[in-house]
Amino acid sequence: MRARRTALELLGPAALVVAAGVLGTFVSQTTEIYFVTALISVSTVVAIYVFVGNSGVLSFGHISFFAVGVWAAGVLSIPEQEKPATMPYLFDFLSSTTVGNVPSLLIAAAVGGVFALVVGLPLMRLSGLAAGIATFAVLGITNNILRYYEKIGPGLNTFSSVPETTDLAQATIGAVLVIVAAFAYQRSRLGRQLRATREDPAAARAVGVSIYRQRLAAFALSGFLAGFAGGLYIHFIPINVDAVYLDLTFITLAMLVIGGTTSLWGAVVGALFVSALDSVLAEMEDGMTLFGVTVDLPAGSRIVVVSSIMALVLILRPGGLTGGREFSLDRLTGLVRRRPPREATS
Amino acid sequence: MSVFLASGLSDFVSDAVDPQVQVDAIGLGAIYALMAVGIGLVFGVLRLVNFAYGQLIMAGAFALAFASDRDWPAGLGIALCFAVVLALSLAMERVVFRPLRTQSAAVMLIATFAIAFLLQSIALLWFGPLGKTATSLAQLNRPVEIGGLDIRKITIVAIVTAVVCLALLVALLSRTSIGLHMRAAAIDSQTARMLGVRANAVSTVSVLIAGMLAAVVAVLLTVQIPTVTPTFALQETIIVLAGVVVGGMTRLVSATLGGFLIGYASGLLGGALPSSQSQYLPSFLFGLVILVLLVRPDGLFSRTRGLVERV
């Protein structure tokens, strides 16, 4: 019984992601783009969740690991003959190396993980506001350097001619892999120790848990996963470095908060919910006919709606849509039978 | 950056002690200090980091641009700026800050993050990405010569305004009963409430004062940066927030000093770094911030180690 419930906590989110992937095969090519974006968002948000959700420490810096993933996969997989045109100042070892699809994703993940580890070594001693500001500072530095240091990349130009290998299948597989990794971590000894420090730092320390080490491990793992998500993203859409800065930080944090910060289920639900909403709004900005009525929103309405919903969720339901709890069939059937939800036991 | 260390250091030092650079840096520090007070005051009373503070300034700047578009006299424009910023502050306090008062600091920070993006995207819808220009006070940009230095009038205005505002605030906090209530609430809000301090009144007053300071900053900043876009004051707010945390959020004095220092430092680095390196200015600043936080996580000027427990 208990094992079944545990298995469901993994199968629930994974099934939802696979369902989204399968659904995406039935729609037109233009709509499919929204599905791929949503699945990459799942990977990104779950990566952030691994640290923020399990540790309870806010991080504004995870998009910097995503950004170095974008950079590593982008710079390395652009065909050699194209590099001099877009990136004339590149270091030799970068301009003379080209890697394929899967290796570039692995390198993106590794670069993200190593960067997070190096950054985390000093920063994980901080908590609270100091940690929030320091991770923000890391994001600022990463953006600043990728923007102007043209020996390592295209600077402010777009990463053009990166092979577009991330399709629906790869995005789905990627999201499932990230979910499995996050689940394995949170059920492991390390993950449980970190969650203990989140609930009661003093008690966790008293039973011999090192807050610093547990946070560092989660930070590195979540940087690894965020780098991987960044790799998936650059193989999907050509972007420049400013596309992976404040706006993306905001929207991914919004997804996590709206879904529910403290559960894997919440991260997945939040990412898919906000992505779906965002896609519908994007269609409406282009003019969409719905039941015979043409809805035409002015460009830029998306962020207005998403940020309003985020603020509303925080004010009315601070635990997020899922209440920060894991997937459970009991609660789902309970909802159908209109029974009052059980008290939170986590 | 190694190039900067090797060859540019002596140039850097001689540029940095240049009085011209010094005066400009102090002027920038004064504006940042005002923003730091606005953020620090609300944090002290409500335990809430207001990420949306920059968007209040942005709204005020758009009000000034609106007035300047219609050729209103400068005084009327400034009045409109104050009205808009104060109304927005009050609305923010009622709709967002009050319902969230019992939540954790992280939830409140994320909520104000959402409000910041909401206001910014509303401005984007309303005025477009290119924004508007506010020019009614542009004559303050003209320099006056004092002792061989070309000092722009706005620099003097900024420094004087900052000093006056801070003096008024100190008087309010130490000489009036509402000021006493605010200080009591900042030190121990629960006990203060038991002793009869009205939480809502205190929080409204502190948000209003912070709003006034935001309006003042909007006026000062639009003189220097007349192009008002939806991201107006965003970069400045991020830097001031960092400065406030670096100074130490738990005391208003240390938060203000932190704000001034980071403004001064960015003015100094901006004025003294050669142009090939000044594009890395944010990296230098944020690097400094990280270093300071590692050595003194509770802030440079803080006395207590309370922040970790509180947040």
Selected for mutation to probe chain A from B108, B109, B118, B235 (highest A CB count within 10 Å) is B118
- Asked whether residue B1 carries a pLDDT value surpassing 60, the answer given is no
The two three-digit tokens of residue B186, written as one number: 């900042």
Closest CA to B117 of A39, A331, A257: A257
Give pLDDT, residue A54: 95
Chain A positions in Cβ-Cβ contact with residue B275 (cut-off 8 Å): none
Please state the rounded mean pLDDT for residues A208-230: 95
CA gap A260, B27 in Å, rounded: 44
pLDDT by residue (tens digit) across A324-334? 888 887 776 66
What ipTM does this complex have?
Answer: 0.83
Which residues touch B142 (CB under 8 Å, ≥6 apart)? Answer: B152, B153
Which residues touch B180 (CB under 8 Å, ≥6 apart)? Answer: B173
Q: Which of B96, B105, B241 is facing A315, going by the closest CB pair?
A: B96
- Residue A145 forms contact with B (CB below 8 Å): yes
**DSSP code string of B176-237:** SHHHHHHHHHHH-HHHHHHTT--HHHHHHHHHHHHHHHHHHHHHHHHHH--EE-TTTTHHHH
Give pLDDT, residue A345: 46
Please state the rounded mean pLDDT for residues A168-197: 95
CA distance, residue A29 to nearest chain B CA (Å): 29
- Residue B282 forms contact with A (CB below 8 Å): yes
N-term to C-term CA, chain B: 36
Residue identified by tokens 């006395």 is B303
Instruction: Decide if B283 and A301 are in contact by the 8 Å CB cutoff.
Output: no
Give pLDDT, residue B8: 60
Give pLDDT, residue B45: 87
- Asked whether residue B194 carries a pLDDT value surpassing 70, the answer given is yes
Amino acid making up residue B211: G
Chain A positions in Cβ-Cβ contact with residue B249 (cut-off 8 Å): 129
Q: How many contacts, defined by CB atoms under 8 Å, are there between A and B?
A: 126
Chain A positions in Cβ-Cβ contact with residue B109 (cut-off 8 Å): 58, 129, 132
Give pLDDT, residue B222: 92
Selected for mutation to probe chain A from B286, B300, B304, B308 (highest A CB count within 10 Å) is B286
Give pLDDT, residue B306: 46
- Residue B278 forms contact with A (CB below 8 Å): no
pLDDT by residue (tens digit) across B220-232? 999 988 899 998 9
Give pLDDT, residue B145: 79
Amino acid making up residue B47: R
Measured CA to CA in angstroms, residue B56 lies from A270, B39, B112, B231 at distances of 29, 11, 12, 11
Q: Is pTM beyond 0.95 here?
A: no
CA gap A122, A112 in Å, rounded: 16
Give pLDDT, residue B7: 54
- Residue B269 forms contact with A (CB below 8 Å): no
- Asked whether residue A126 carries a pLDDT value surpassing 70, the answer given is yes
Contact A86, A154 (CB under 8 A): yes
Give pLDDT, residue B140: 79
pLDDT by residue (tens digit) across B159-175? 999 999 999 999 999 99
Nearest CA in chain B to A133: B242
CA gap A83, A99 in Å, rounded: 13
Please state the rounded mean pLDDT for residues A283-309: 78
CA gap B154, B221 in Å, rounded: 9
Question: How many other β-carbons are positioned within 10 Å of the β-carbon of residue B209?
Answer: 24
**DSSP code string of A66-121:** HHHHHHHHHHHHS-GGGHHHH-TT--HHHHT----HHHHHHHHHHHHHHHHHHHHH
pLDDT by residue (tens digit) across B241-292? 989 988 888 888 899 999 999 999 988 888 877 777 778 888 888 998 899 8
- Asked whether residue B192 carries a pLDDT value surpassing 70, the answer given is yes
The two three-digit tokens of residue A146, written as one number: 């990728």
Give pLDDT, residue B235: 87
Give pLDDT, residue B197: 87
Contact B54, B61 (CB under 8 A): no
Instruction: Decide if B311 and A133 are in contact by the 8 Å CB cutoff.
Output: no
pLDDT by residue (tens digit) across B89-120? 999 999 989 888 888 777 788 889 889 999 99
Q: Which of A128, A303, A318 is facing B105, going by the closest CB pair?
A: A128
Instruction: Decide if B297 and A310 are in contact by the 8 Å CB cutoff.
Output: no
Q: Where are the domains of chain B?
A: 18-232
